[in-house]
Structure formats: C-alpha cells, structure tokens
Chains A and B, each alone.
Chain A
Amino acid sequence: MPVALSVDLPAGTVVPARLPAGSVALWRSASGRPAASADRCPHRGMRLSHGFVRGEALSCIYHGWSYGQAGHCLRIPAHPRLAPPETIRVTTHRVEESDGLIWIAVGNPLSQPPRLTGFAPLRSLTVLAGVAAIEAAAGAKASLEGLLELSEDARNICLLLSAQDDGETLAHVLIKGEAGPADRVAASRTAESLRRKAEGLQKKEITQ
C-alpha cells in the first residue's frame, strides 16, 4: 500500500501510517533508510509513532526503549548495562520506496510496487469517502493498482488511492511531467475540490 510521500518523511523522523491491520510507526533513520513497525512498544503499550529517531534506531517516547530496523530491542535506558533479550522485539513490515512514494507490504506481495513513470508526487490527502464515491466524483474508474486518472481539463493529474479500513481513503496526488509552481497549486486545488465533491456524494449516500 502507498502510505506516504517520500518528501513527507525526512531523515530522523517518525510518523503514524495506517494499514488495514491497524496503525504502524513509519520512520526514516539518520542515514535515510525507511522502516515500518507495529505502532506499539511491547513494554508499556505506548505508540511508537510518538517516539523519536536517533541514528539508525527508533525510540519509544515513554522510557526510551530503542528498536532497530529489523525490530529487535537495542537498548533499555533504565538498565544501560543490560543487553536486551532477543525476545523483545516489535513486528516489522517490508517497506519499498520508489518514484517518491513509500509503500508498505500488506501480507507477502511477490511483486514490487507499480512504477509511476512520468508522474511526480505532489501531496497526500485523506478523503472521508470510499473509493466508489471518489470515482463517481471524478467520473473515472481507478485501476487495480488504485490509479485514477482525472478527465478533461485535469489530464495532468492522477490520484493514487488506497482504501482505509474505516471507509476513508488516502489519496496521493501525482502530477505529470515538468510542472511549475502555478501548475502545482492548480493541481492541489483540483484535488481538494474533488475531495469535497466525493465527501458530499458519500454523505448523500449515507443519508439516503
């Protein structure tokens, strides 16, 4: 699943991301490697997405327990001389990064994420509507990979949709070719008005 734009996850930061199985902590080490782990420190249940990144490790904000990219606990600050047992670890997910997007593997996909040749990611937005409502608002169908090309006057914009478990949809806005600042602002506004339209349709459907 495409969970975030590369540009929204600078080195040394962690953010929450959503998968059908729940929240994950998506982080990028100081050297630039992205990683994803369960969003729960096994010590006291604190969300790891509230934590901090130092070097090549993600630390929990509650007691500073730190975890490597493979999920094993590296350090327990309350016991600095103790080597944490192998059994203390967080579940991790496979992460791929290509064409400016970060993907997290759900299950065990055999293939790589689809290439988005010719498109550059612009921004991500959460739409409080399902994929069907967004398709209806756009007057177009999304591909199996979740790519939705806008029609008519917005041919330079493409949305990469990923359905969330609560009926919301995460939409990454992609823009074609060389786009200047004005094109980018216009594309962003087009995506926002499409979002409003889709959310309106979704509301209507619920009230009917």
Chain B
Amino acid sequence: MTVKAMIDEWYPVGLLSQLDLKGRKTALMDEPIDVALDADGNARVTGGNGRTLPVRVRYGHVWASLGEPKKELFDIPEADQPGRRFVDVGVVRVRCSPLRAVENFLDIAHFPFVHTDILGAEPHTEVQNYKVEIREEEDEVWATQVKFYQPQAAKSASGGITTEYMYRVPAPTCSVLYKTCPPRPGEWDVITLFVQPLAEDLCDVWPWMALFDDESSMTDLIHFQQTIFLQDRSILENQIPRLLPLDPGMEIPTRADLTSVAYRRWLKRHNYTYGAQLVAQ
C-alpha cells in the first residue's frame, strides 16, 4: 500500500464542462485538491499545501498528478476522429478500491447476472477464449478477440448480437474499451473508464464515450451508461475485502478472468499498489 509508484501518474479530477472560477473541492489519493478555472479560462488544480499541480485537459476531463509525471497522458487516437459523438457521462462515486472498479470494467462474465437483459442474458453465459498480453513497448495491458452475446449491446443496438470487445489498460486507474459499433460495422465504439482515486477504498468513476451514434439523444446515451454503472456499483460496494488482493490465494480466477490476471500482474510489477491488498488476510 504505497503511494510512491502511482503518484507520478495522471488522474481525472473533473469535467472541463463543469468547471468554474469558484472551483470544486475534491481529493486525490487522500490529498485535498481544488479544481478551478483561472481568469484566462485555463484549468488549474491546487494541492493541499497550495502548490499548483501539473494539469492536462483531454477527453472532456481535467487531469492532474500529485507527483512529476514521467509520461505524457495516454493517447486515445479515436478522440480526434471526425464523426464521433463525445459523451461526458458524469461521475459515479463508489465505496471501493479504484483498482476494483477498473477490474470490474475488464470483466465480461458478470454481464448476464449484473446487467441482465442489457449486456448479457442467460443462458448465454459462456466466455470463449480470448487473447491477453502486456504490450511491452506501450507498457499497456491488452485483451483482444473478446466475444460475448448481448441482448442490447448499445443504445443504438436493436435486438441481440454477438459483440466483439477489445480492452486496453494504459494507466493504473484507467481503461479504454473498444466495442463493435452497431450502426457502423468496421468501426469501434470507444467507452472509457477514468477512475479518480479519492482514497484507497473510495473513488469517483468518470465514464466517457466516443461513439458513432447519430440517432440517440445525449440524455439517452448518458442514461444508458449510468444505468450500467449503477448496477456495477451494487457489486463493487459489496466485495470483501474492499482493496484488490494482488497476492494469489485470496481469490480464485478462471480462464474467463485472464484480463484481470494480467492487470493484477502488471499492477504488481509496477508497484501500483494504492488500493491493493498485498498480504492475504
């Protein structure tokens, strides 16, 4: 449970569209911070002792770091692709480890039970083999060729389809999901999970989307995604222990959990242990 390795990473701290001069008090890894617009209209994040933190504005969100980031904020090329609609979903506060929130996002086997009749339905519960790797050059976890039967894969989907997914973990508390795009075969919808760690067992989850969907209203798109995350929250707040166990023995993975196995291994390798439990208790 060390802050050190994760302190130099970028974290989402708010929506750009909701910032004002007055600012918003929030927290980042137990440190109180203030997120505001300055007189010139730039985002400004102030740490607990009044110091100005490094800031980026990208993907609709303001990003900050408590340390000295050694890498630029990860790239999502689709964010610059014409024709996509960008959806600021908002925030869902969850009483769980930020790492548990990401791991749940990487999991498809829960769809029929937690997102019943939306992202999954019995008897279509089988998780077929897929590919998982840690891409050394980018230093990211990737899962590809993930296929799952879904009754309503997206707001723009009518009827059940077998959806293909790709997952990407470019930062310890962020994941990017690429998903079959019902109205535009050949393209991928992008749904992200940006997690702001408030404390080791408390986080603000900021989902964001870059979709090809000219039909649905913004309200419907946001509502669809919020429904999904509220269903996830009922799980995340009831897992024991709250922290993510990184040592084997505490939980039992199966073949369907290979993405989570790789994610945990990657976290451990980098000492990304804020929100993790290291010794089985």
Contacts and interface: CB of A to CB of B under 8 A. Distances in A.
A44 B251 contact: yes
A63 B109 contact: yes
Contact of A78 (B114, B127, B239, B241): B127
Interface string A121-138: 000000000000000000
Nearest to A61: B113
Interface in B17-46: none
Interface residues of B, number: 23
Given A45-B239, A45-B240, A46-B239, A79 B113 contact: no
B37 to A, nearest CB: 41
Interface string A18-62: 000000000000000000000110111111001000000000111
B256 interface: yes
Contacts of A39: 240
Given A62-B235, A64-B112, A40 B126 contact: no
For chain A, give the interface size range: 20 to 34
Contact of A61 (B235, B245, B255): B235
A78 B256 CA distance: 7
B122 interface: yes
A50 B240 CA distance: 13
B144 interface: no
B85 interface: no
A88 interface: yes
A77 B125 contact: yes
B279 interface: no
A44 B114 CA distance: 14
Interface string A69-111: 0000000111110100000100000000000000000000000
A42 B241 contact: no
Interface in B198-222: none
A44 B254 contact: no
| Secondary structure dominating the interface of B | loop
B110 interface: yes
Contact of A46 (B122, B238, B250, B252): B238
A64 B239 contact: no
B254 A76 contact: yes
B249 to A, nearest CB: 10
B112 A79 contact: no
A47 B240 contact: yes
Interface string B211-237: 000000000000000000000001100
Nearest to B253: A43
Contacts of B240: 39-40, 45-47
B232 to A, nearest CB: 10
Residue from the set A40, A45, A76 with the largest chain B CB neighbour count within 10 Å? A45
Interface string B165-186: 0000000000000000000000
A39 B256 CA distance: 23
Interface string B243-264: 0010000111111100000000
Interface of A: 39-40, 42-47, 50, 60-64, 76-80, 82, 88
Interface of B: 109-110, 112-114, 122, 125-127, 234-235, 238-241, 245, 250-256
